[in-house]
Chains A and B, each alone.
Chain A
């Protein structure tokens, strides 16, 4: 089985989000970049298929050379090969087109991409790859078993889950639940050393145009002070929620 995991290079979850250039650009100053958590859950599941079922696992990213540290980390976790499509990613559709083009050419059985990146939260790349390549698609995937071409998976729905049968070629939108947080792997020294020798192929982008452009960013308005209520006066809390906030 040939697996490819799409890796997005995103600010660490603890990052403070700021903007520069008149609020038109994300401020990378002092920000640590990591593998997008939803992609990392997917990569970890892919490693299971590699170890138990002999799958090959490639990782791919659309980005400039600064994203290579994140691809190297994926190699250190255990991926076989990394591919970087050399383009400054500007919208989800063009990223999906770049990925879909490569994936189609290389005939992957399973494509794993996080259900959304934690920076732009577009939630479009996995579904668009499936749509462009006419592959089966399971979003919000929280379990995945593959036997030959047969797939059994589950999807988180609002208030529960769905068990789904499908087949390869398949694209999944990965998220937490696919593996547990405790299954995530921290690269060890041997993995890091081996990752240096693994192939990181840089390929040119195909011609795509953006369908959307980011114009400007805004930060949420600062919040007013909290109104404290004594634990001996909870009637006051109920009064505030009912008469002031009007939420009960």
Chain B
């Protein structure tokens, strides 16, 4: 399993070696050996930030064009071919705008909030393995607790949104960020439950191991887990139908009401980066990461899967109305929480049985210590069959108990107060 092919993508280790050699070459090897790691980390951060910002810029263009198509209009098409330069025009405009800070605002908090929102979103990309199967090919680091890192880092989001709302000292902003705090914390639980079921199957916290253990994609093995995770992460990035934090039609624009200029640009950068990052995480956890057919490199397959997910999120965004705040909270605690727990229960029993029937592959490192465990393909197929049936039954039952029954509008009876005059029927 552990193919020892040389790293194809730029990795932290290859860069560190490169910089160490460079420092050696210049002749500072004795006193500046430590700097190689720092330089490697800085170059990778530089790479991630720039790639992600550019990706987000084009994503905003793509989203606006697609939503234009959904809404029988053209979308931005003036700047450059197909309007592709629109994001640059937008950023230029926002940079040149006056950066206003309200008098009553808590200035440090107000200023830090956009950064606090953007940084965790960028940090998630560090542990995403874009490359092919070899485990050394995560971008910055093949962290052995990669998924835990993601869960930890995303929870900073709610603090950042609360900072933005509280710092701007605006009633709409506070209302939005209060909703945000309640909602984001609630949805972190189903999200974590969805991740836990993945961990049970893959037997490892490392993102690369999770990808490797998906001899069958986890979306096929446990569709319920995928649903729970997708719904929860849609709420985490507060997009329709869970966009209570902004809720243009209710709160103006919620927590970012008071922001302008470059701060607003950074807030929106974070917001539009969220779907990309979410798609990357979901691809890694449920869609087999960079797995794919031979004729294209793994990175391309990863991008294709991300693109499909992004389009799915965009589709939902452009068509669905928004739920009310109490309905959103109810959905988190009554539906997703229950489904998530049930899914874990199911997967735990199945993996327990796998061990009993000796369907577990133990992956060991050089010294013979067990690094992670995964489940054989045959057993996963059986699991998939069972889980799909259970999922469909669970959804039908849930839809009948929790959801509204198909609405039959009762035949209206005219009120006795009606007194249609002479010409009445």
- Whether A associates with B in a native complex is no
